[in-house]
């Protein structure tokens, strides 16, 4: 008789359907409407930027995975997320070759260097962005107004700059389109350098006028809510970041309303919403413990406001998240969960329990029981 | 859902909701035919190995003791069949190793009635006598852990027990043997509870049943109402409570949390809270065996899974080889070279076995057979490094951090796992591995780590 072929595995023998690919794929799905809105704002320049950056990320990932030195596969979609997020943080008219450099750096230095998916310490997209911010400080600060006429047929001139060449300035091109040079400044830069505060409701939809802003915060929050509801993202981190940023901004606003803008402006301007919902929530670089997530989020929110107010830079989300990433192993260590039966709740009972713990004790003798008489029973070992 | 039940009071925190797949909940328990040959492994519970008290060639009656030990944590074994002892020696065991076993060949003409036991009246018996009687039945926990029941029910002198918690959760997917026992043997169960209460001195008994078994709750309530009318129980002495369906609700600690809202101290036993927890299957079997004075020779086993043509709950003679069970329940093409998985116990904590010669023992609550097609999806899953999604932390009923534990295990930092991350609290329920999107075999890593720590501690 031939023995039937039986497989031996260790328990559990069931497995939930959610896999790394599913998580990453759904994050990509949720990013698509945001990308579409960004393209609607800035036209083919934005489309080209998203494509170039994402393809650069994917090619780098492919090349580095083939060396066999890092975990993961191309089909896990994580490089797509990095590419899309990176493109969304760059100005729409960012020279495409610089975008490609950012993509390569994001994957190579931000992720592969540490060993691939799951091992990276910093959010790869932000590593890419930090690199190009240091390397190309002018280009990354050059925004253009949104909703320009002819944006679907004409590139922003700086987009098509040749590699290693200084991109064409946008001032003349804007003048031809009857805009002044200030039109290209982001709301945060306008506030920082000119003291102009844009209304929060305008920022929320980014539909009014020709503001130089990223995708609408309202849309990002909506897409984030989808991810949180399907549990592809932890809701605690964005809530903690936005709550802590709003609280800090509100405190400062309450102290000196003349000097500090209102908290709503702080929340909806710049990249705070995108950073809070999509960047800081990167699973590998945020703490794994629930308490740690609150601490991590609160730290990022606080740092964002502090950098925006007290540094030379108008925007602080990127550095705040990178610092948060660096701190997250430490945060995780001091916020380990309390195991069942070891915490302070020991000895206390929950108020709404079905039965009282102690039934009003009756002694063993009253209950009709006596101490065991061990007749034939084997002797119990003495300790 | 989880949040809701937490506020309602009545569930422990975290846990998972695997698909329940209780295919056999509607089918009555049937008796499996007597096999021509049974294999009784001597090691079926903790404690010292019982020694055979029969010889090869000796005739035995069904229910006759065939192995005994003088160890407190050890119980006797009884002959499951009337027949001849054919062989005493090594046979395949469920853990893959060969274990000391007694093989009995059935008499073809025997009626296989339980002839050995002598009925006794325990209605006025004292605690010690009941424990003695329980020891005589060879009863161990039938829920899977196989802890000797007399040891579980005996209360140390300095401790006091006021509550008997009866565990009817059966939170493992697929398994329905306890469910069917509650429906069909409710009277036996109450008899068993009465004995257990008298043995422990408990003044109340609370039966916890998961709320996906409403019919069992209803049947138990009716039976209890009848028993109270008949004077078997006093009013308020025994309750049935539907607890939320959540894996692993059937764990002692989780059930006590759900019923009383109290956390059991880590590393402690329910006795620390004045409680003793026992499984419904065990108590129902006790209720049947104790008055008759018989030994444990059979148990109810759920035979199910996609590879079984006639799934159901079967009353199986202990020692029946799996092959005989599967042939009868219609696991197609058992003899063909066909990759499949055969699991003893439930799918979350059960043991995959490597040979169909392995017998049904006292602790086997289910036999699951999965076809090759069902396993392919899992085989296709790639294992990724931990992406720190936190799913395992959100699901661990013991409030551990399986993510960090897993990473430490990969680095072989076993001492650190034990000292700082409470590895010893893990009871291997499998929630973390079930939810892990990276497909990391966390529980397996923890088992290895625990084993290594145990070996180090012993050395």
Residue B215 lies in a domain: yes
B138 vs A349: which has the higher pLDDT = B138
Q: What per-residue confidence (pLDDT) applies to B377?
A: 65
Other Cβ atoms closer than 10 A to A163:
10
Do B214 and B206 contact (CB within 8 A), yes or no?
no
Q: Which domain holds residue B445?
A: 391-458
User: Would you state the pLDDT for residue B370?
Assistant: 84
Q: Please state, in angstroms and rounded to a whole number, the distance separating the CA atoms of residues A237 and A240.
A: 5
Bigger pLDDT: A282 or A70? Answer: A282
Q: Do B157 and A371 touch (CB under 8 A)?
A: yes
Let me know whether B247 and B200 are in one domain: yes
Residue in chain A closest to B333 (alpha carbons) equals A4
CB of A39 within 8 A of CB of A47?
A: yes
Gap from B101 CA to chain A (nearest CA, Å): 21
**Which class for A114: exposed (0-12), middle (13-18), buried (19 or more C-beta within 10 A)?**
middle
Q: Any bridge partners for residue B92, and if so which? A: B98
Q: B199-224, pLDDT tens digit by residue? A: 888 888 999 999 889 999 999 999 99
Q: Which CATH number do you get for residue B272?
A: 3.40.50.11540
Q: B341–A13: do the CB atoms touch at under 8 Å?
A: yes
Is B442 found in the same domain as B337? no
Report the alpha-carbon distance of residue B369 to residue A352 in Å, rounded: 41
Location of structure tokens 């017998």: B359
* DSSP H or E run through A60: helix A44-66
Q: Which residue, B292, B321, B354, sits at the end of a domain?
A: B292
Q: Do B70 and A378 touch (CB under 8 A)?
A: yes
Task: Specify the residue for token string 């009995």.
Answer: B104
Is B93 a member of any domain?
Answer: yes
Is B202's CB within 8 Å of A367's CB?
A: yes
Distance of CA A253 to the CA centre of its chain: 26
**CA–CA separation, B211 and A289 (whole Å):** 31
Q: How far apart are CA B246 and CA B14, in angstroms?
A: 9
Which structure tokens are listed for A347?
A: 């000895």
pLDDT at B9: 52
pLDDT tens by residue, A31-42:
999 999 999 988
pLDDT attached to residue A360: 63
Rg over alpha carbons for chain A, rounded to the nearest Å, is: 27
Q: Which residues contact B203 (CB under 8 A, 6 or more apart)?
A: A359, A361, A362, A367, B162, B163, B197, B237
DSSP SS3 for A171:
helix
- Residue-wise pLDDT for B413-442, tens only, equals 898 888 889 998 999 999 999 999 998 999
Q: Assess contact for B155 and B276: CB atoms under 8 A.
A: yes
Cβ-proximal residues to B236 (8 Å cutoff; 6+ apart), any chain: B204
**What would the pLDDT profile of B233-264 be if each residue is shown by its tens digit?**
887 788 898 888 898 888 888 998 888 888 88
Express each pLDDT in A59-92 by its tens digit.
Answer: 999 998 888 777 777 778 899 999 999 999 999 8
Question: What is the pLDDT averaged over residues A129-134?
Answer: 93
Question: Residue B385: inside a domain, yes or no?
Answer: no
- Among the ranges given (A160-164, A331-335, B194-198, B360-364), the one the predictor scored with the smallest mean pLDDT: A160-164
Distance CA B41, CA B364 (A): 13
Q: Is the pLDDT of residue B41 over 50?
A: yes
Instruction: Give the phi and the psi of residue A341 in degrees, each rounded to 5.
Output: 80, 10
CB within 8 Å: A8 and B354: yes
pLDDT at A45 over 70: yes
Instruction: Map tokens 């852990």 to a residue.
Output: B145
Check pLDDT > 50 for residue B337: no
| Segment among A134-148, A197-211, B172-186 with least mean pLDDT | A197-211
Indicate the residue among B242, B258, B292 that finishes a domain. B292
Tell me: pLDDT of A372 over 80.
no
Q: Contact at 8 Å (CB) between A304 and B376?
A: no
Query: Helices A217-229 and A20-42 sit at what angle, rounded to 10 degrees?
Result: 170
For residue B155, list chain A residues with Cβ-Cβ distance below 8 A.
364, 372
CA B57, B60, B62, B66 dihedral sign is negative
CB–CB of B71 and A378 under 8 A? yes
In this structure, how many other beta carbons lie within 10 angstroms of the beta carbon of residue A37? 20
Residues B223 and B162 placed together within one structural domain of the fold: yes
Residue B317, domain CATH: 3.10.20.600
CB A211 within 8 A of CB A198: yes
* B164 Cβ contact partners less than 8 Å away, ≥ 6 residues apart: B193, B196, B197, B200, B202, B204, B205, B206, B275, B276, B277, B278
- Are residues B134 and B255 both part of a single domain? yes
Contact list, A284 vs chain B (CB under 8 Å): 387-388
Q: Is the pLDDT of residue A198 over 60?
A: yes
DSSP string, A13-35: ----S--HHHHHHHHHHHHHHHH
- Look at the block and give the residue holding tokens 């329910």: B270
- Please tell me the distance from the alpha carbon of residue B231 to that of residue B241, in angstroms, as a whole number: 21
Res A1: pLDDT: 45
Return the structure tokens found at A25.
């794929």
Residues of B whose CB is below 8 A from A362: 162, 203
| Measured distance CA(A85)–CA(B360) in Å, rounded | 56
pLDDT attached to residue B38: 94
pLDDT category of residue A223 using cuts at 50, 70 and 90: very high
Query: Residue A289's pLDDT is what?
Result: 92
Q: Collect all residues of chain B within an 8 Å Cβ-Cβ radius of residue A353.
A: 9-10, 259-262
Average pLDDT, chain B: 87
A364, B128: Cβ pair inside 8 Å?
A: no
pLDDT at A379 over 90: no
CA distance B270 to B251: 11
Q: Phi/psi at B274 (nearest 5 deg)? A: 80, 30
The whole-number pLDDT of residue A200 equals: 77
CB neighbour burial string for B17-34, b if at least 16 within 10 angstroms, e if fewer: ebebbbbbbebebeebeb
Average pLDDT, integer, range B320-347: 78
Chain B residue at shortest CA distance from A339: B399
Give percent above pLDDT 70 in chain B: 95
Contact flag A375-B129 (C-beta cutoff 8 Å):
yes
> Quick check: B127 and B201 in contact, CB under 8 A?
yes
Interface test with B, best of A7, A13, A24, A372 (most B CBs within 10 A): A13
* Residue at B382 is within a domain: no
Q: Do the beta carbons of residue A90 and residue A53 sit within 8 Å?
A: yes
Instruction: Give domain limits for chain A.
Output: 20-142+144-184
Q: Strand B98-106 and strand B275-279: pairing?
A: unpaired
Inter-chain residue contact B443 with A118, CB threshold 8 Å: no
Find, among A121, A118, A137, the residue nearest to A129 by Cα: A137
Residue B282 region by backbone torsions, left for phi larger than 0, else alpha for psi between -120 and 50, else beta = alpha
Task: Please answer yes or no on whether A117 and B385 come within 8 Å at the CB atom.
Answer: yes
β-strand pairing of B37-41 with B98-106: antiparallel
Flag whether residue A339 sits within 8 Å of chain B, measured between CB atoms.
yes
DSSP tally for chain A: helices H, then strands E: 15, 0
Closest-CA distance of chain A to residue B111, Å: 31
Q: Mark whether B89 and B138 lie in a shared domain.
A: no
The answer to whether residue B386 is domain-embedded is no
Does B374 or B92 have the greater pLDDT score?
A: B92
Residue range B376-402, pLDDT digits in tens? 666 678 888 999 999 999 999 999 999
The Cα–Cα gap between B83 and B102 comes to: 12
pLDDT at residue B2 is higher than 50 = no
Please give the C-alpha separations between residue B319 and each of A120, B102, B300, in angstroms, as whole numbers.
Answer: 53, 9, 13
pLDDT at residue B5, rounded to an integer: 46
Pair A143, A212: CB distance under 8 Å:
yes
CA B199 to chain centre: 21
Please, which residues 278-307 of chain A have a Cβ atom closer than 8 Å to chain B? 283-284, 286-290, 293
- Average pLDDT of chain A to the nearest whole number: 84
Distance CA B429, CA B450 (A): 14
What's residue A4's pLDDT? 60
B348 contacts on A by Cβ (under 8 Å) = 11-14
Which B residues in the span 220-279 are in contact with A, Cβ-Cβ below 8 Å? 239, 241, 253, 257-268, 273-274
Distance from CA of A113 to the nearest CA of B (A): 15
Q: Which residues of B touch A358 (CB under 8 A)?
A: 162, 274
Q: Which residues, 6+ apart, have CB-to-CB distance to B305 below 8 Å?
A: B174, B311, B343, B367, B368, B369, B370
Instruction: For residues B111 and B116, give the distance between their C-alpha atoms in angstroms, rounded to a whole number.
Output: 13
Ramachandran angles phi, psi of B444, nearest 5°: -60, -45
The verdict on B75 and B218 lying in the same domain is no
Q: Which helix (H) or strand (E) holds B315?
A: strand B312-317
pLDDT tens, position by position, A94-105: 999 999 999 999
Q: At how many degrees (to 10) do helices B186-200 and B177-184 cross?
A: 100
Q: Is A8 on the interface with B (CB under 8 A)?
A: yes
What's the length of chain B?
459
Contact B163, A359 (CB under 8 A): yes
Domain count, chain B: 3
How far apart are alpha carbons A77 and A84 in whole angstroms? Answer: 11
Residues of A in contact with B260 (CB under 8 A): 349, 353-357
Residues B247-279: b if buried by 16+ CB within 10 A, e if exposed? bbbbbbbbbbbbbbbbbbebeeebbebbbbbbb
| Residue among A18, A20, A352 minimizing CB distance to B9 | A352
Provide the β-strand partners of residue B366. Answer: B302
Average confidence (pLDDT) over B16-42? 90
pLDDT score for B44: 80
User: Tell me, what's the pLDDT at B302?
Assistant: 94
Whether residue B354 is found in the same domain as residue B417 = no
Both B172 and B188 in one domain: the answer is yes
**Would an 8 Å CB–CB cutoff place A75 in contact with chain B?**
no
Out of B201, B267, B397, the one facing A367 most closely (by C-beta) is B201
Please list every residue in chain A whose beta carbon sits closer than 8 Å to the beta carbon of residue B253: 340-341
Give the pTM.
Answer: 0.88
Give the pLDDT score at A353.
Answer: 67
Interface A:B, Cβ pairs < 8 A: 292
Which residue in B7, B10, B8 sits closest to B246, CA to CA? B10
Q: B55 pLDDT exceeds 50? A: yes
- Is B332's Cβ below 8 Å from some Cβ in A? no
- State whether B133 and B227 are in the same domain: yes
Asked if A13 reaches chain B (Cβ–Cβ under 8 Å), the answer is yes
Residue B370 domain-assigned?
yes
| Closest chain B residue to the Cα of A118, Cα to Cα | B387
Q: Does B454 touch chain A (CB under 8 A)?
A: no
A14 interfaces chain B, CB cutoff of 8 Å: yes
> Which of B131, B385, B398, B424 should be substituted to probe chain A, the one whose Cβ sees the most A Cβ atoms within 10 Å?
B385
Query: What is the edge-to-edge ordering of all strands in the sheet holding B275-279?
Result: B238-243, B204-210, B163-168, B275-279
In a domain, B380, yes or no: no
Q: Which of B250, B299, B245 is nearest to B278 (CA)?
A: B250
Tell if the CB–CB gap between A19 and B437 is shorter than 8 Å: yes
Residues B309, B421, single domain; the answer is no
Which of A138-142, A143-147, A186-190, B82-86 has the largest mean confidence?
Answer: B82-86
The highest-confidence range among A3-17, B123-137, B237-251, by mean pLDDT, is: B237-251
Query: Which residues 24-83 of B have a C-beta within 8 angstroms of A?
Result: 69-72, 74
| pLDDT number for residue A69 | 72
H/E element, A310:
helix A290-310
CB contact under 8 A, A118 and B386: yes
Q: What whole-number distance in Å separates Cα of residue A68 and Cα of residue A49? A: 29
Q: Which domain-ending residue is among B269, B292, B315?
A: B292
Q: Which of A129-133, A202-206, A261-265, A348-352 has the highest mean pLDDT?
A: A129-133
Judge whether B192 lies within some domain: yes
């Amino acid at each position: 008789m031939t023995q039937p072929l039986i497989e031996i595995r260790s328990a559990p023998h069931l497995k939930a359907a959610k896999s790394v690919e599913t998580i990453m794929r759904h994050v990509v799905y949720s990013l698509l409407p945001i990308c579409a809105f960004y393209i609607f704002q800035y036209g083919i320049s934005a489309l080209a930027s998203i494509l170039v950056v994402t393809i650069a990320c994917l090619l780098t990932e492919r090349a580095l995975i083939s060396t066999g030195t890092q975990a993961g596969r191309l089909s896990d979609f994580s490089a797509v997320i990095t590419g899309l997020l990176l493109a969304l943080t760059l100005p729409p008219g960012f020279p495409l070759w610089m975008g490609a450099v950012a993509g390569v750096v994001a994957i190579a230095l931000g992720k592969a260097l540490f060993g691939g998916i799951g091992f990276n310490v910093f959010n790869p997209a932000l590593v890419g962005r930090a690199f190009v911010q240091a390397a190309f400080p002018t280009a990354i600060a050059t925004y253009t107004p949104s909703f320009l006429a002819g944006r679907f047929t004409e590139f922003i001139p700086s987009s098509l700059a040749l590699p290693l060449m200084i991109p064409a300035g946008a001032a003349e091109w804007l003048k031809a389109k009857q805009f002044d040079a200030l039109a290209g400044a982001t709301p945060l830069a306008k506030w920082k350098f000119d003291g102009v505060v844009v209304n929060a409701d305008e920022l929320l939809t980014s539909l009014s006028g020709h503001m130089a802003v990223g995708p609408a915060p309202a849309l990002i929050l909506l897409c984030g809510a989808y991810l949180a509801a399907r549990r592809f993202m932890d809701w605690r981190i964005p809530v903690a970041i936005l709550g802590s940023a709003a609280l800090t901004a509100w405190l400062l606003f309450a102290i000196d309303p003349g000097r500090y803008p209102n908290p709503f402006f702080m929340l909806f301007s710049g990249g705070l919403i995108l950073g809070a919902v999509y960047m800081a929530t990167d699973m590998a670089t945020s703490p794994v413990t629930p308490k740690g997530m609150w601490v991590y989020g609160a730290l990022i929110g606080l740092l964002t406001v502090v950098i925006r107010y007290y540094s030379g830079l108008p925007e602080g989300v990127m550095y705040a998240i990178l610092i948060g990433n660096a701190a997250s192993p430490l945060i995780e260590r001091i916020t380990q969960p309390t195991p069942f039966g070891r915490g302070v709740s020991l000895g206390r009972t929950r108020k709404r329990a079905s039965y009282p713990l102690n039934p009003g004790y009756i002694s063993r003798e009253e209950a009709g029981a006596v101490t065991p008489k061990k007749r034939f029973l084997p002797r119990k070992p003495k300790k | 859902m989880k949040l809701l039940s937490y506020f309602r009071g009545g569930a422990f925190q975290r846990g998972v909701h695997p698909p329940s797949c209780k295919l056999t909940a509607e089918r009555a328990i049937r008796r499996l035919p007597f096999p021509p040959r049974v294999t009784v492994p001597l090691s079926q519970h903790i404690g010292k190995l019982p020694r055979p008290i029969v010889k090869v060639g000796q005739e035995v009656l069904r229910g006759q003791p065939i192995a005994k030990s003088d160890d407190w944590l050890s119980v006797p074994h009884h002959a499951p069949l009337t027949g001849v002892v054919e062989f005493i020696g090594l046979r395949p065991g469920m853990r893959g190793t060969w274990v000391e076993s007694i093989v009995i060949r059935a008499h073809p003409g025997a009626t296989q009635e339980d002839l050995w036991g002598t009925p006794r009246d325990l209605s006025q018996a004292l605690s010690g006598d009941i424990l003695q009687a329980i020891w005589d039945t060879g009863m161990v926990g039938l829920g899977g852990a196989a802890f000797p029941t007399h040891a579980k029910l005996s209360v140390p002198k300095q401790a006091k027990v006021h509550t008997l918690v009866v565990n009817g959760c059966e939170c493992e997917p697929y398994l329905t043997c306890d469910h069917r026992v509650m429906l069909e043997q409710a009277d036996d169960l109450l008899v068993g509870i009465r004995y257990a209460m008298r043995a422990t001195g408990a003044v109340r008994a609370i039966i916890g049943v998961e709320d996906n078994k409403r019919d069992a709750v209803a049947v138990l309530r009716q039976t209890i109402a009848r028993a109270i009318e008949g004077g078997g129980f006093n009013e308020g002495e025994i309750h049935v409570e539907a607890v939320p369906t959540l894996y692993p609700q059937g764990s002692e600690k989780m059930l006590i949390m759900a019923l009383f809202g109290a956390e059991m101290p880590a590393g402690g036993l329910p006795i620390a809270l004045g409680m003793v927890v026992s499984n419904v299957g065990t108590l129902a079997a006790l209720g049947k065996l104790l008055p008759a004075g018989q030994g444990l020779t059979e148990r109810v086993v759920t035979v199910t899974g996609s590879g079984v043509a006639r799934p159901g709950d079967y009353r199986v003679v202990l020692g029946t080889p799996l092959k005989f069970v599967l042939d009868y329940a219609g696991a197609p093409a058992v003899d063909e070279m066909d990759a499949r998985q055969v699991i003893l116990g439930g799918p979350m904590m059960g043991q995959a076995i490597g040979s169909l010669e392995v017998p049904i023992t006292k602790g086997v609550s289910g036999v699951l057979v999965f076809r090759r097609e069902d396993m392919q999806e899992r085989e296709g899953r790639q294992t990724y490094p931990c992406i720190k999604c936190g799913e395992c932390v959100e699901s661990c009923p013991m409030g551990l951090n399986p993510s960090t534990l897993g990473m430490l295990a990969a680095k072989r930092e076993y001492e650190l796992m034990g000292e700082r991350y409470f590895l010893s609290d893990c009871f291997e329920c499998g929630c973390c591995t079930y939810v892990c999107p990276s497909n990391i075999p966390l529980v397996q890593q923890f088992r290895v780590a625990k084993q290594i720590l145990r070996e180090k501690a012993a050395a």
